[in-house]
Structure 1
Amino acid sequence: MGSVEVPSRHKALIYDNPGSISTKLEEIETPKPGVNEVLINLTHSGVCHSDMGVMTNSWAWLPAPTRKGQVGGHEGVGTVAAFGSGAESSGLKIGDRVGIKWMASACGNCIPCLAGADACCTAGKISGYYTPGTFQQYALAPAHYVTPIPDALPSDAAAPMLCGGVTVYSALVKSGARPGDWVVIPGAGGGLGHLALQIGARGMGFRMIGIDMGEKEKLVKECGAEVFFDLSKYGRDDEGTKKLVEDVKEATGGVGAAAVVVCTASNAAYAQGLSFLKFRGTLVCVGVPEGDAVPIATADPASILALEKRIVGSAVGNRKDAIDTLEMAARGLVKTHFETQPMSKLTEVFERMDKGKLQGRVVLDLSG
């Protein structure tokens, strides 16, 4: 099996003031793997909008506020550094590259797990929320639940695929769209959206429409959107929404889209999304709005039943989705547009994210 030297302490980024955008770089004790666990020497971690939701306590659906000192992060890639008792039987070897996802572990026995929806496990542990996450140099994970990283995929490029890529791949599958169908992506220039465009256009044969702010048009079109709509050119009132709906319908030949995959946390995007759909079209809920819950304004039963529209929830993806997404990335069909930042810049990254100034993703280099 071989062995590597594991330090007694390592660097980690903690949420030092949950409820606000603030992180602190500290040195913490390196844990020892328990039964059926592996210790992973993490080299890279993606930074996701979900991390900000956890850090700032802006998700009302989570059962408790994030605790002070929590290590965040859930898109980690690294190498197996040590085994706990029984973990060797997993087939892993010291030095194997593996990833940690949003769901850090799943029981395998609850109803969602038995249905192949382990990301919805009723006993699952979320990475970076009451379970130490991937914004650190060493982390524990169940040996059976880590994701193997293909040899052809660099670790920094693989990290955002473990949440962003898996999430939109699973959502596009659930959309029911078929090759040649129009699919609309609100939030197209963001971390999720730019991956959804590529997977949809290049991996699934969909015709993609991107919606976002004007400065993201170049990125959105590079990622496979045939049509782009600049939100800044539409008012936030009913007239602006009506014009956007009309323009989307016109772009699809007047019939509407087969699917809308909402890749933003905007309540407005959800309110508009159902109106973009054609007969038997599907709205897939991916982005999690922050603050108090706001109903989808256009989700009146009459309009839904008349055109037999569907609303589908999609929470990340399962282990098979993760493997499929990484294989797609290894083949070059989807590439994360990302910038690499040191651990010391995480608070700054979150501040840029909060202002909507990020294009694509940020990946932390955890080497120091």
Structure 2
Amino acid sequence: MACAALPETLSGWAVERPGPVASGPLTAVRRPVPEPGPGDLLVRVEACGVCRTDLHLAEGDLPSHRPATIPGHEIVGRVAAAGAAVTRFRTGDRVGGAWLRATCGECRYCRAGAENLCPASRYTGWDADGGFADLTLLAADYAYPLPESQDAATLAPLLCAGIIGYRALRRCALPPGGRLGIYGFGGSAHLAAQVAVAEGARLHVLTRSARARQLARELGAVSTGDAYDRPPEPLDSAILFAPVGELVPVALAALDRSGTLAVAGIHLTDIPPLTYQEHLFYERNLCSVTANTRRDGREFLETAARIGIRVTTTPYPLSRAPEALGDLAGDRVQGAAVLLPDPDFSPS
């Protein structure tokens, strides 16, 4: 598939002044189109999901790794140009860019298959510009081939929300046919929930949003309730997607003996004191989730295709990226927010 001629500049949004969404942390920018290095892909963006990590970066919960970074790491696009050393992709191929961008490949974590823990790891939209733009660079070795048959907007959330949710599901050690509690039900949770239900789990969703509770029931939850409610039965496993530390003791107290709570976010508000007897005794486990491996990505994308995962999205033109972030912050997004190309977006 041939690609259109490349412009001299790209249009996008950069985090220039981190702060509350209401303060306007995103600035519309126009920049020269970057030249792909030997292992890079220059990608024309077809869709980019808006992740809560982008919100944390914009609001300063995550420290900036470089000034004026263009966020976005759920990228679907077409290869517009490829570096000289790239052999996996050709111009016109549809590819996906995810959060993990690079690792050293040599440390003990990389050698053990835990590249998500590599001390030299780098991330799209944090260490390098991401997909809140019409063009972006991806590292070919960390890109995923994507099917032609699926809409770009429904593919985009799979590339972080889906992959991280999948890793969280594996980290929570859910037994076959087990009872799973999910706390918070946004972009990542609604995808992980479908994998769990497809694998035979009894799903309980606890979230403050009435719209999210309705979606959870449509996707197979056997019960729904407010985030601070006790589920109707003890849980074998739980995943905390909401970045609210106060929910950690709530979820731990809902676990049955030997149950595991996995905290899926990159940022969490402070956890209140835990009591040993109520929250940890009977061999209850608390663990975190850090990024993902490329193997996680491949396994999840294969699983999503096999089970016919349903992706609920709320689309926004690229020109309305600040509004998308604000709606995410205010829990006004159904499923996952996705930015789409906007030919009228032209920063000065």
TM over 0.5: yes
Whole-Å Cα distance in 1 between the matches of residues 81 and 151 of structure 2?
A: 22
Give the root-mean-square deviation of aligned CA atoms.
2.1
277-286 or 172-181, larger mean C-alpha shift = 172-181
Aligned to 2:43: 40
Task: Check if 1:123 corresponds to 2:120.
Answer: yes
Whole-Å Cα distance in 2 between the matches of residues 66 and 108 of structure 1?
A: 21
Aligned to 1:97: 94
Task: Check if 1:313 corresponds to 2:288.
Answer: yes
CA apart distance, 1:302: 4.6
Aligned to 2:8: 8
Task: Check if 1:210 corresponds to 2:205.
Answer: yes
Whole-Å Cα distance in 2 between the matches of residues 205 and 108 of structure 1?
A: 36
CA apart distance, 1:4: 5.3
**Structural mapping, 1:148-187, within 5 Å:** 148-187=145-184
Q: What is the aligned-residue identity percentage?
A: 27
Contact 1:168 1:316 in 2 (8 A): no
CA apart distance, 1:115: 2.5
**Structural mapping, 1:254-293, within 5 Å:** 256-290=234-268
**3-state SS of 2:11 partner:** strand
Aligned to 1:86: 85
Given candidates 216, 219, 222, the residue that maps to 1:220 is: 216
Aligned to 1:51: 54
**3-state SS of 1:267 partner:** coil
CA apart distance, 1:44: 0.6
Q: Give 2:251's aligned amino acid.
A: G
Per-residue displacement from partner, 1:234-271 (whole Å, max 9, x unpaired)? xxxxxxx5xx33xx2xx22xxx1110100110112112
Unaligned runs of 5+ in 2: 344-348
Unaligned runs of 5+ in 1: 232-240
Whole-Å Cα distance in 1 between the matches of residues 16 and 318 of structure 2?
A: 15
Per-residue displacement from partner, 1:168-220 (whole Å, max 9, x unpaired)? 111111222122110000002x1122112111112x21110001123322111
Whole-Å Cα distance in 2 between the matches of residues 302 and 73 of structure 1?
A: 42
Task: Check if 1:29 corresponds to 2:66.
Answer: no
CA change 1:42–1:269 in 2 (3 A) is same
Aligned to 2:346: none
Aligned to 1:111: 108
Given candidates 194, 199, 206, the residue that maps to 2:195 is: 199
Whole-Å Cα distance in 1 between the matches of residues 16 and 200 of structure 2?
A: 45
Whole-Å Cα distance in 2 between the matches of residues 301 and 217 of structure 1?
A: 31
The alignment's TM-score, normalised by the length of structure 1, stands at: 0.86
CA apart distance, 1:99: 0.9
CA apart distance, 1:340: 1.2
CA apart distance, 1:66: 5.8
The alignment's TM-score, normalised by the length of structure 2, stands at: 0.91
Per-residue displacement from partner, 1:251-297 (whole Å, max 9, x unpaired)? 22xxx111010011011211211111111100101124455xx2353
Given candidates 330, 334, 338, the residue that maps to 1:359 is: 334
Whole-Å Cα distance in 2 between the matches of residues 270 and 354 of structure 1?
A: 20
Contact 2:66 2:127 in 1 (8 A): yes
Whole-Å Cα distance in 2 between the matches of residues 219 and 304 of structure 1?
A: 29
